[in-house]
Amino acid sequence: MTTIAGKEKMLTPEIEAFIEKWKGKPGNLIMVLHRVQEEFGYVPRDAAFEVAEALGIPVAKIYGVITFYHFFKLSKPGRNQIAVCMGTACYLNGGQDLIDECERILGVGLNTVTEDGEFSIEAVRCIGCCGLAPVLTLNGEVFGKVNTKQMRRIIQQFEGK
């Protein structure tokens, strides 16, 4: 049985050893995917197929898990990651406007990466700073009470850095 024809190997020997160690243990799939994402910053498609083969799990099940948990990413994030909070408080205070503005400035949509690989935008759930709504993070740094006018300046701070 061949899952997919003619592909080069993607998983590193370390990840393969990790899979060997976890094979057959409960919860192994999440652990392995976690490890893969740690390595690549996301779960590349070819890696998902190799994990399927190594664990003897159907590819469909792997994607079921990856797409169920917000944590897992299926595409390579930008070098700078913008995460706009869409929790209730931020949503009510204009979270969507921030996303729209980001999309306008960067010229790409949600969950996509700019052509130069510099920025990506994603929507996340409440990050626990509701008092500062609307909130976004850029590479983990929190920006609160953001309005759309400030967006460009915030982004510029990270450009080329």
Partner 1 sequence: MSMIKCEINGLPVSVPAGTTILDAAKGVGVTIPKLCYHNDLDAWAACGICVVKVEGSPKMLRACATAVGPGMKVVTHDPEVVEVRRTVLELILSTHPNDCLQCGRSGNCELQDLSADFGIRDIPFEKRAPEIPRDTSTPSIVLNPEKCVKCGRCVLVCQEMQNVYALEFIGRGDGTRLAPAADVTLEESPCIKCGQCSAHCPVGAIYEKDDTKAVWDSIKAEDKHVVVQIAPAVRVAIGEAFGYEPGEILTGKTYTALRRLGFDAIFDTNWAADLTIIEEGSEFVKRFAGDGPLPLITSCCPSWTDYMEKFAPDFIDNFSSAKSPQEMLGVMSKTYYAEKAGIDPATITMVSVMPCTSKKYEITRSDEMFASGYQDIDYSITTRELARMIKQAGIDFPALPDSECDSILGQYTGAGTIFGVTGGVMEAALRSAYYLITKEDLEQVEFEAVRGMEGVKTAEIDVKGTKVRIAVAHQMGNVQAVIDQVREARKKGEELPYHFIEVMACRGGCIGGGGQPHGATDEIRALRTRGIYTDDEKSKLRCSHHNPEIKRVYDEYLGEPLGQKAHELLHTAYTERPLYKK
Number of neighbouring beta carbons within 10 Å of residue 14: 10
CA distances from 15 to 33, 73, 112, 145, 147 (A): 10, 18, 26, 41, 43
Helix (H) or strand (E) holding 91: helix 88-92
Distance CA 115, CA 107 (A): 9
What is the closest distance, in whole angstroms, from the C-beta atom of residue 91 to partner 1 in the complex?
A: 14
What is the closest distance, in whole angstroms, from the C-beta atom of residue 68 to partner 1 in the complex?
A: 5
- Count, residues in the chain: 161
127 lies in the site for ligand FES, by CB under 6 A: yes
89 lies in the site for ligand FES, by CB under 6 A: yes
Q: Binds 129, which of ligand FES, partner 1, none (CB < 5 to 8 A, cut-off by type)?
A: ligand FES
Among 15, 33, 47, 48, the residue binding partner 1 under the rule CB under 8 A is 48
57 lies in the site for ligand FES, by CB under 6 A: no
What is the closest distance, in whole angstroms, from the C-beta atom of residue 76 to partner 1 in the complex?
A: 15
Cis peptide bond upstream of 134, omega within 30: yes
What are the residues binding ligand FES (CB under 6 A)? 85, 87-90, 126-130, 133, 135
